[in-house]
Amino acid sequence: MSNDALRIKATQWLVFATTLWGLSFPAMKALGLAQEQLLPGRSSFFMAALCVFYRFGSAALLMGLFTLRTLPTITRDEVFHGLGIGLFGGVGILFQMDGLARTEASTSAFLTQCYCLIIPVWVACRARHWPPWNVLTGCVIVVIGIGVLAKVDLRAFHLGRGELETILASVVFTGQILWLEHPRFVNCRVSHSTAVQFAAMALSGLPVALATTQEPGDWLRAYSTAPTLGLLAVLLVFCTLGGYVLMNQWQRHVGATLAGLIYCAEPVFASAFALFLPAWFGAWAGMAYPNETLTRELLMGGGLIFVANVLAQWRAPAPVPPPTRGE
């Protein structure tokens, strides 16, 4: 397979992975609403950290079973690789969760995408040259698109603790994206690195869950119904085993900068899923969870993000060499 064909295939799989991550937003919202009925008055941090622990802990066990025959041959680099992307991802999620409790969801969605600007600057400093003009332009357009999608009001914007923690989370997510494709780990087996990653992410949520526990029985009651277990299964199968495995397998073939732009489409897919999934999840769990409506901001913001990714993926055709004498 040629490099261009491989890049196109990798781009398609990363778009699919981003689609799966978009599913996590309505699923996690529905899970939180269902758990409020089971455990009223409990800390939102406890619920979120417990979900991280169960979700990624289960994923680590399943990946361990999947790689059971080859796991004894895991290398030091594969462990180091998985620990890096797992700790970056886990710590980033915790900062994002804490910041979200102190700022608007739209502001959090906007600031989380800061990595699409941080990554090209880092890559430029490391390589000592800037990315192509179309990639840089795509980065600017995608920031504008996210701002439109999130309905950010710059006149009311301020940098408080929540905003600063969300920016810090984006910096940490940048580390995850860059660590994933570090040249040292080019020969690492993705299945082994991913198993370690999931274990590290689960362990990053454990201290927060323990620190915010009110009653030990809450660990079981939070997932004591079919809807809560089913929503956890959706997050586990589609958003974790699907999205993260695809990211780990294919990102190396497009590079961190272009991958960051693709991942910025996550809020678009989340908004699209929110047009019809909430009512389904609400009916299943026996609670009120209305669908969102199609808005001008969704169409404009999503369109800008799409244009940004098409522009960033565009490559000028190679110049045709002049004919030689005698032709």
Cα–Cα distance measured from residue 236 to residue 219, given in angstroms and rounded to the nearest whole number: 17
User: Dihedral through CA 86, CA 87, CA 88, CA 90, nearest 10?
Assistant: 80
Per-domain residue ranges for the chain? 3-313
Judge contact between 247 and 193, C-beta under 8 A.
no
The amino acid at 295: T
What angle do helix axes 161-180 and 115-127 make, rounded to 10 degrees? 50
One pLDDT digit (tens) per residue for the chain, 327 residues? 788 889 999 999 999 999 998 898 888 888 988 999 999 999 888 988 999 999 999 999 999 999 999 999 999 999 999 999 999 998 888 788 777 667 665 566 677 778 887 888 888 888 788 888 888 888 888 888 878 876 777 676 667 777 788 889 889 999 999 999 899 999 999 999 999 999 999 999 999 999 999 999 999 999 999 999 999 999 999 999 999 999 999 999 998 888 888 988 888 888 889 889 999 999 999 999 899 888 888 888 888 888 888 887 776 444 444 444 444
* Angstrom distance (rounded) from CA 179 to CA 156: 35
3-state DSSP call for residue 189?
Answer: coil
The four Cα atoms 125, 126, 128, 134 give a dihedral, to 10 degrees, of -70
Residue 168, CA atoms < 13 Å, CB-side half-sphere = 17
Query: By the 8 A CB rule, do 222 and 39 touch?
Result: yes
pTM for the model stands at: 0.86
Q: How many CB atoms lie under 10 A from the CB of residue 225? A: 16
The secondary element (H helix, E strand) that includes residue 229 is helix 226-234
**Contact (Cβ atoms closer than 8 angstroms) between residue 255 and residue 182:** no
Quote the CA–CA distance of 54 and 69 in Å, as a whole number: 24
C-alpha span between 291 and 289 (Å, rounded): 7
Tokens, residue 27: 């699923």
